[in-house]
Structure 1
Amino acid sequence: MARQHAPGSGASAGTGGFAVSGGVTMKATNGSVVAGVVNGGVRVDPPQPGPVQD
């Protein structure tokens, strides 16, 4: 969710939060993970094989 603040208002977040005053660009590619905040673990496993094709 994006929220715009009035000029000079800054940004704030609680403990473990992620606050931005301005723009943020985050990108994940090729099975990677991107997050502003992770509360817990992140596990990236190899992809499971697809169904057998005849």
Structure 2
Amino acid sequence: VGVNEGLITTPEAPFGGVKESGLGKEGGHQGIEDYLDTKYVCIGGLGL
């Protein structure tokens, strides 16, 4: 239940469905993963 809320979904309870309502979830971490790039950063030396 959301009162005076524009978005009532949370990552713990994403909104979505299957069949005619669409496929997939929105509002959870799965929805944003398509837009993310994994990068590895090393700060400092490797101590070699």
| TM-score of the pair, normalised by structure 2 | 0.24
The structure in which a higher percent of residues are helix is: 2
The structure in which a higher percent of residues are strand is: 2
| TM-score of the pair, normalised by structure 1 | 0.23
